Chain A
Amino acid sequence: MSDETAPGGHAHQRSEQPEATGSTEQEAEAAAQAEALAKMEDQWRRALADNDNLRKRAVRDGAQQRAQERAAVALAWLPILDNLELALAHAPAGAEDPVVEGIASIRKQAIDTLARLGYPRIDAENVPFDPRIHEVVSVVETNDVPPGTLVSVLRPGYGGPDNTLRPAAVVVSRAVTPDRG
């Protein structure tokens, strides 16, 4: 482009040449500078965008890490609640022992606390199996309930379909198959 500038300069070509070269040089320099500026602006915008994205990601990562840490801590306490429940299951039935009653209320307190942390208890029976919140540990063949129904919950789970802390360990029904066993 710069080669075709300065039209009509033929007559004075000789005298104008240095000047023309000068202006071509200047133009080339200007073009180079414009290019450098454009590149700079591009990089600057990238850097800003990068920074902005990083900030957004930090916010997202922070929320995610808090959720993960909360889940990890809650999960570590679960066996203690499980064992408390197992212990209560061995309490003599019928007898109104105030100590047992007290411990039962501790159990309830623990379950409520988990629910408040966002992990409600999963222990409903006679519901259809849902792999998001249930884990099959055993299967029974029966025609009493539709196949794929929770016959019993061996160990309760905690959480919801989107934030399962631990799935409930369940026994699920299967249709009686004549060709089996």
Chain B
Amino acid sequence: MAKAVGIDLGTTNSVIAVWEGGEARVIPNAEGARTTPSVVAYTDTGERLVGQLARRQSILNPKGTVTSAKRFIGRRYDEITDEAKAVSFDVEADDNGLARFKIHDKLIAPEEVSALVLRKLADDASKQLGEKVTEAVITVPAYFNDAQRTATKDAGRIAGLEVLRIINEPTAAALAYGIDKREHETVLVFDLGGGTFDVSLLDVGDGVVEVRSTAGDSHLGGDDFDRRLVDYLADEFHKETGIDLRTDPQALQRLFEAAEKAKVELSSVTQTQVNLPFITADATGPKHLTSTIRRSVFEDLTHDLVERTMGPVQQAMTDAKVTANDIDEVILVGGSTRIPAVQNLVRRLTGGKEPNMSVNPDEVVAIGAAIQAGVLKGEVSDVLLLDVVPLSLGVETRGGVMTKIIERNTTIPARRSEVFSTAEDNQPAVDVVALQGERELAADNRVLGRFQLGDIRPAPRGEPQVEVTFDVDANGILNVTARDKDTGKEQGITISEGSNLDAKEVERMISEAEAHRNEDVQNRERIDTLNELDAVAYRVERAVNELGGAAPVHDKARAELLVGQARDAVSNQADVSTARELISELQQLQAALTAAASSATATPTGQQPGASSDVEDDDIVDAEFDRG
């Protein structure tokens, strides 16, 4: 079955996303980019170039390169005369007064240009997905009138796509955040793109999204911010050297690249370095441009641009008859909303509300459109609904810690097993305590059930191998079994309530684990280290006993001392660094004893003399049971 996609057909850039396996994802184009410039070029040789390729030749072919077709689609010529003056190509009226591009003496409709962009997006996506893309949801600005919407739909048809629906960009953004499912909310969508600014107020309730008002500035965007930085850097350089870099196309290009990079960096750090060595030269030799730009300088330079968004926001709120207090959610769309000053302004205008920006603002509209496409195609029911384990499952091991066997969010049915051993010499039985939760300490998690596996043959600690298997079937029923690999004896329980926790309880347990993560990790580290210390002390002690008289006297004395210290450290719950020191000393000693052993006797004393020969690679004992 052909895939349905969502397309954000933008003024400067477009994005395509697909609904697949229950989630929406953006599909990169043939050049590997996640956004495609909405640019089409008609060359002298009759070729048509779309996207980045078209943009690269625009200086050579200004009359044949169409940018911002979206500003003209579905418009009458007399509505857009100002826009027509601002572009490098010719715009004319056709016999019916509709806006047309005149390229190489031919009239071309904006729909045809947009269709080429849509076609490229769909073709590249088809290649990526390995199946044809034939149906699409396409987004338009909320203020588009019927003629503009119809023309956009026509563009889709010209591109060979069945347009499932035309939806508003702010609505798509709300869909991407799943806000449409809420009861009743007022949502403000703040969209500051590459070249346009739109703000919309939505009324959301029970799956219906209504646009209450829109406002904006059709010529304000990220490109303006770049230009301010370029001018600042060029002016500074001019002051220092008397050379205007803006007259040198190569220097200007480097400057624009550096400015955009600096702008992006200043969204995450408070100062950045612009470094353009050998930017130019004069009679005195080469000149370098190095400048540190602080965020405060950038904010100062672009202050008025940010302030320009205020008017439309207030306008939209007045038109919708809402105040800052009525707004329940704020959604940020467009790459320029990553600028901290913009976010601060949005917070200020909406009464301190924290805006939603967890979905990539460049992609959120396309993602929402893809979700709509998925809903319209009913693809949700087409996939197998797979359940997951809501919380990690595991067993309690030595020191009262939880060893996870099945991680949270594992898709079920799932079956995992691990091999454990005993913590004491001649331990006759092990207690298996099945736990559920995310905390490191067993006591902080939920006990699902416990049982004992007995009749373990007497053996030194660490030697018996007990395989514990957790098996969760498709219904979430958990089977825990423990098997003694030596005797084959098995014991187990079935727990049916395991995954039947309600969502709130699961959420509480996860957030609790988050809150305690630091102390839990520290506790865990301490216990793990003490366990390790105990184990290495035991091995040293055993090595000394096995060597008997063959052990060098000084090593033997040192072993007794260190083992004693280790036992003290374990029983007194010593801190991690002390334990680490002892571990490393004991390990050295163990190495020395092993060397002594191999020189003393012909038969090497392996670590597990009585171990079965069929030990497989994956039978790694990574924890020990200390009860029983």
Contact B278–A148 (Cβ < 8 Å) = no
User: What is the CA–CA distance of A160 and B41 in the complex, to the nearest angstrom?
Assistant: 21
| Chain B 48-62 residues near chain A, CB threshold 8 A | 49, 53-54, 56-60
Please tell me if the beta carbons of B59 and A83 are within 8 angstroms of each other in the complex.
Answer: no
Chain A contacts for B276, CB-based, 8 A = 83
* A121 CB-CB contact with B under 8 Å: no
Given contacts A90-B286, A136-B57, A139-B59, contact A47 B384 (CB under 8 A): yes
Return A41 CB to nearest CB of chain B, in Å.
Answer: 13
Known contacts A71-B32, A131-B56, A138-B249: A89-B278 contact under CB 8 Å: yes
Of the candidate stretches A16-24, A29-37, A106-114, A166-174, the one touching chain B is: A166-174
Interface string of A104-141 (1 = CB under 8 A from B): 00000000000000000000000001011011111100
CB–CB A135/B384 < 8 A: no
Complex interface: chain B residues within 8 A of A87 (CB): 277-278, 286
Give residues of chain B (243-268) contacting chain A, Cβ–Cβ below 8 Å: 249-250, 253
Given contacts A47-B384, A67-B32, contact A132 B253 (CB under 8 A): no
Which residue of the partner chain, among B41, B60, B277, B384, contacts A139 with CB atoms under 8 Å? B60
CA distance A147 to B285 in the complex (A): 35
Bound state CA distance, A129 and B278, in angstroms?
A: 27
Chain B residues whose CB sits within 8 angstroms of the CB of A155 once the complex forms: 250, 253
Interface assignment of B44: CB less than 8 Å from any CB of chain A: yes
A residues less than 8 Å from B277 (CB atoms) = 83, 86-87
B563-595 toward A: CB 8 Å interface, digit per residue (1/0)?
000000000000000000000000000000000
Q: Quick check: A154 and B53 within 8 Å, CB to CB?
A: no
Find the A residue at minimum CB distance from B280.
A86
Main SS of the interface on chain B?
A: mixed
Residue of B nearest to A175 (CB): B44
Q: Which residue of B lies closest to A171 (CB)?
A: B249
Determine the interface band of chain A, counting residues with CB < 8 A from chain B.
Answer: 20 to 34
Asked whether B83 is an interface residue with its Cβ less than 8 Å from the other chain, the reply is: no
Contact B384 A137 (CB under 8 A): no
A43 at the interface (CB under 8 A from B): yes
CB distance from B256 to the nearest CB of A (A): 11
Residue picked from B253, B278, B286, B384, most chain A C-beta under 10 Å: B278
Chain B contributes a number of interface residues (CB within 8 A of A) equal to 24
The residue in chain B whose Cβ has the minimal distance to the Cβ of A163 is B32
Residue in B28, B57, B281, B384 whose beta carbon sits within 8 Å of that of A129 in the complex: B57
B486 touches A (CB below 8 Å): no
* Chain B hits for A89, CB < 8 A: 278
Give bound CA distance, A90 to B288, whole Å. 12
How distant is the Cα of A147 from the Cα of B32 in the complex, in angstroms?
31
Whose C-beta in chain B lies nearest to the C-beta of A154? B250
Determine the residue in chain B with the shortest Cβ distance to A56: B130
User: Does A68 interact with chain B (Cβ within 8 Å)?
Assistant: yes
Residues of A within 8 A of B59 (CB): 136-139
Known: A83-B278, A167-B56. A137 touches B31 (CB 8 A): no
What distance in Å separates the Cβ of B475 from its nearest Cβ neighbour in chain A?
A: 15
Q: Interface 1/0s, chain A 8-20, versus B by CB < 8 A? A: 0000000000000
A174 touches B278 (CB 8 A): no
How far is it, in angstroms, between the C-alpha of A83 and the C-alpha of B41 when the chains are bound? Answer: 32
Contact A131–B278 (Cβ < 8 Å): no
- Assess whether A46 is interfacial by the CB under 8 Å rule: yes
Q: Are A148 and B384 also in contact (CB < 8 A) when A131-B57, A136-B57 are?
A: no
A137 in contact with B253 given A83-B278, A86-B278 (CB within 8 Å):
yes
Give the 7 A-B CB pairs with smallest separation, nearest first: A86-B278, A135-B56, A131-B53, A136-B60, A154-B250, A136-B59, A90-B286
Sampled A-B contacts (8; CB under 8 Å): A64-B28, A89-B278, A90-B278, A131-B49, A134-B56, A136-B59, A147-B44, A154-B249
Q: Interface residues, chain B, CB within 8 Å of chain A?
A: 21, 28, 31-32, 41, 44, 49, 53-54, 56-60, 249-250, 253, 276-278, 281, 285-286, 384
Seen from chain A, the residues whose Cβ lies within 8 Å of a Cβ on chain B are 43, 46-47, 50, 64, 67-68, 71, 83, 86-87, 89-90, 129, 131-132, 134-139, 147-148, 154-155, 164, 167, 169, 172, 174
Besides the known contacts A46-B384, A137-B250, A138-B59, 18 further A-B residue pairs in the complex with CB atoms under 8 A apart: A43-B384, A47-B384, A86-B277, A90-B285, A129-B57, A131-B49, A134-B56, A134-B57, A136-B59, A136-B60, A137-B59, A139-B59, A148-B44, A154-B250, A154-B253, A155-B250, A155-B253, A164-B31
